[in-house]
Structure 1
Amino acid sequence: MVSQQRSPFTPGSIAHSLPGRDVHRNRINVSLTNLSVYRELDGRIRVFVGPRGIGKTSLLRVAQKDAETRTFTTVWATGGDSVSLCVDLANELGKLVTEKWTTTAKAGLLETLKTIRLNFGVASVALSAVGGQDTPEFVGAARALQAGLTAAARGVMDAGGVGLVVFIDELQAADPVGIRALAYAWQHMQAEAADLPAAVFAAGLSHTQDTVAKAVTFGERFEYRHLNNLSHDDAVMALVEPARACGVGWELPALEAVLAETQGYPHFLQEFGDKMWEAAGYPGPGGALTMHHHPAARDEYRIARDALFRSRWTQATRVEAKFITAMASLGDGDVKRKDVAAGMGTTSTAISMARQSLMDKGLIAPSSHGKMRFTAPGFAEYVREHADIDDAE
């Protein structure tokens, strides 16, 4: 009797493999190699952007693992975890101190981190009050963050480390003061600490570049790379390779049926793959995923998918719900902003706040100039079939 195996698919969790992301992973590894070889600061903050469920966090976590395998010291922060990205970074940098650190390096970093925590509250109030101007309080906070990053990198080096790599997830959710301070700190470090092997990699939703642009007037320190749905071949790999590693195959009709339903959206590929594995009875080596398992798996997949869609729908305000409904009525692909406005009986300018809010929530994403799309395939159809405008709050 063939033994059972747990599912190799990971819906909602960090993916074990990253098909279709080789180009991005290679870019990260080139940056890490340059840090190792040239022993210099990576002057650009590299940001991977895309909708929810596209695999940004998985890419960052794999990159963190790659960096640590190459003996870099890493820190991880998440935008929106608290009131301040600066304080989050300070707390994470403080965890780097080990018994290998010199007394001087340890004292210098801890004192600097204390300054960051003290300065942030003042800087936040000052920046909000003057609409983003460079108040003395803000400049002090940005310089404090710069000093903290510099002290941490030097401490790592003094302790025999290769370099420091900072990872920031959900950058679009970080406070404007924190984003601005990070941009200023990295700009100053390029001139004043260029000899330090340090880098920043971040991830955020599709509109992260707009969020950063509102927080800081210069953007040349940020490089953006967009993550899209997987191609057909990469989607095949996302389904076939995890199963193959367990000695389990896919019958071609079942594979193509899952591909057609999920349209290369990484989260849905993992979800449907997981439901197929369950429907097949958690197969052992020599097993196969077939069309015999597909109907039950499809039903369970759609229950999970629709629960996600329902959650997104119920989180929408009344205005956002009208926006979503108007957008869904125009079809399943890219739609023009002006057509959505017309469907709502208003102007393009009048829908700006709702559009921004829906991007903040990750429900829609800009696709090209003047156009946008839903981030998850099938959501437009779900809205047309199930959504009742009176249910939105």
Structure 2
Amino acid sequence: MDAVKNPFAPGAGSPPPELAGRDDLREAVRVAVERTRAGKSARSVLMVGLRGVGKTVLLDRMRDDAEASGVHTVRIEAPEDRSLPALLAPQLRVALLRLSKLAHAKDLAVRGLRALAGFAKALKVTYGDIEVGLDYEGEPGLADNGDLEHDLQELLESAGAAAKAAGTALVLFVDELQYVPEPQLAALITAMHRCAQRQVPVLLVGAGLPQLRGRMGNAKSYAERLFTFPEVGPLSADAAVRAITRPIEAEGAEITVGAVERILTDTRCYPYFLQEWGQRSWEVAVESPIKADDVEQATTTAVAALDESFFRVRFDRLTPQEKRYLRAMSELGPGPHRSGAIADCLKREVSSLGPVRSSLIAKGMIWSPSHGDTAFTVPLFDEFMRRIMPSEDWRT
């Protein structure tokens, strides 16, 4: 098989050759964007799901869809060590500068840039990581109180007013939203609520791990009425088959039914793993069609590749206590597991493990599907933990 023609693209946020099984969600976001642009009410969309389900790819495709329709967008990723104001400010500046080039929106866009100047200067003391070019002087009293919850409302309202004058909408696309600290989440929720009340065309489309739902509710109790939280999970069997077969057929090759079934079994239909197995199966196969024996060989190399990168990069961030906690979880299976069962496995009291559990949640390694339950955020991580810590030493 020609390696140059290998169609599969495993990688963090790398777009797959076939984005299968996500059409309904893309359409739901498209409708929300168009309703917002038309001045009609629409709830913002926050997608939640485990690692490897393709949230980032989907977010970027949705942004492409919005940009293609003439909507102005802002795209940020929320890392663990940056503040939301620092991430938003430079991107909002770019959006407002674009809007200022449009005759109908120029004056309101300039006012938005003045709001941004006041916002950045007032919050620089609290959030020292804000770095943004200032094109205009701030307008006294506009988004310059130094209180994030109040100032972000005025800033987004000003930006939304400019978008409305231009006959378009402003859509914020935010990835890894679960890393935003709760007070900053509360400010963002309040600002979106204010935009909805004032009927300015601003929409939020975000993505995060499953704990995002609970964090949004903790930040503001009315968040569940302001946002929808569609769950992005593994693909259906039919969609997973399309994700594998169509790219192969597009390159003039074939794959047997048995080979496809083996890939679906090994990957549990998770999109990232489908790309990894597809790539390795193509590499192993000598000729078309790709057979089940080829996939069996590919599974060995795919698992080794995941262990060296996808899994290992997360494992290396853990403390020894955190590794033991996850190893105990893996001993119990894929999960979710009761906190008491994990404590019993470690021969510890549940209360003594609270700090370790909280730290793992903060790092995005585990989440709580319901009170007292704990689950991995990374699919197949239980199998990896048993491979990386195979002996019984972890118990002591």
TM beyond 0.5? yes
Q: Which amino acid aligns with 2:156?
A: L
CA contact (8 A) 1:82 1:88 kept: no
AA matched with 2:163:
V
Q: Residue 339 of structure 1: SS of its match in structure 2?
A: helix
What amino acid sits opposite 1:112 in the alignment? Answer: A
Q: 1:311 is aligned with what amino acid? A: V
Give 1:7's aligned residue.
Answer: 6
CA deviation map 1:252-300 (0-9, x unaligned) = 111111111111122111111111122236x7xxx43223532442222
Q: Is the 8 A contact 1:123 1:138 kept in 2?
A: no
Match 2:207 to one of 203, 209, 234: 203
CA distance in 2, matches of 1:266, 1:348: 35
Query: Distance between the aligned counterparts of 2:370 and 2:219, measured in 1?
Result: 22
Q: Report the CA distance shift for 1:187/1:375 in structure 2 as closer, same or farther (over 3 A).
A: closer
Which of 84, 105, 108 is the matching residue for 1:105?
Answer: 108
Aligned residues: 372
So what's the TM-score if we normalise by structure 2?
Answer: 0.84
**2:139 aligned residue:** none
The 5-angstrom pairing of residues 55-204 of structure 1 reads: 55-80=54-79, 83-96=82-95, 97-98=97-98, 99-100=101-102, 103-122=106-125, 140-158=147-165, 160-191=166-197, 193-194=198-199, 196-204=200-208
Structure 2, gaps ≥5 residues long:
129-142
Give the equivalent residue in structure 2 for 1:345: 347
Query: Quick one: distance in 2 between partners of 1:291 and 1:74?
Result: 44
Which residue in 2 is equivalent to 1:291? 292
Instruction: Summarize deviations over 1:132-152 as a string: whole Å, max 9, x none.
Output: xxxx99883323222222222
Rate the CA distance shift 1:111–1:51 in 2: closer, same or farther, 3 A: same
Q: Which residue of 2 aligns with 1:300?
A: 301
Q: Is the 8 A contact 1:332 1:378 kept in 2?
A: yes
Would the alpha carbon gap of residues 377 and 92 (structure 1) be closer, same or farther in structure 2, given more than 3 Å must change?
closer
Distance 2:352 2:229 in 1: 29
| Alpha-carbon displacement from aligned partner over 1:55-93 (angstroms, at most 9, x marks no partner) | 111111111111112211111111127632123212111
Aligned match of 1:264: 269
Deviation at 1:251, TM superposition (A): 0.6
Q: What residue is the counterpart of 2:39 in the other structure?
A: 39
CA distance in structure 2 between the aligned counterparts of 1:205 and 1:280, rounded to whole angstroms: 36
In the TM superposition, what is the alpha-carbon distance from 1:124 to its structure 2 partner? 5.8
Q: Which amino acid aligns with 1:153?
A: G
**Distance apart, 1:115 and its partner CA:** 1.8
Contact 2:7 2:279 in 1 (8 A): yes
Question: Retained in 2: the 8 A contact 1:80–1:173?
Answer: yes
- Inter-CA distance 11–275: structure 2 relative to 1 (3 Å threshold): same
In 1, the alpha carbon distance for the partners of 2:5 and 2:81 equals 36
| Change beyond 3 A, Cα 1:362–1:269 | farther
Cα separation, 2, equivalents of 1:3 and 1:328: 39
Matched-pair contact (CA < 8 Å) for 2:18–2:242: no
- Checking the alignment, whether the CA contact within 8 Å between 1:168 and 1:201 is kept in structure 2 is yes
- Between the aligned residues of both structures, percent identity stands at 29
CA distance in 1, matches of 2:177, 2:334: 28
Distance apart, 1:112 and its partner CA? 0.6
Select which of 327, 338, 344 maps to 2:329: 327
Q: Is the 8 A contact 1:254 1:291 kept in 2?
A: yes
Task: Indicate conservation of the 8 Å contact 2:178/2:209, yes or no.
Answer: yes
Offset, 1:389: 8.1
SS of residue paired to 2:89: helix
Report deviation, 1:318.
1.8
The TM-score normalised by the length of structure 1 is 0.84
Gaps of 5+ in 1: 126-135
Q: Which amino acid aligns with 1:300?
A: T
Residue 337 and residue 19 in structure 1: after superposition, are their counterparts in 2 closer, same or farther (change >3 A)? farther
Higher relative contact order (CA 8 A, sep 6+): 1
Per-residue deviation, 1:116: 1.8
CA change 1:16–1:72 in 2 (3 A) is: farther
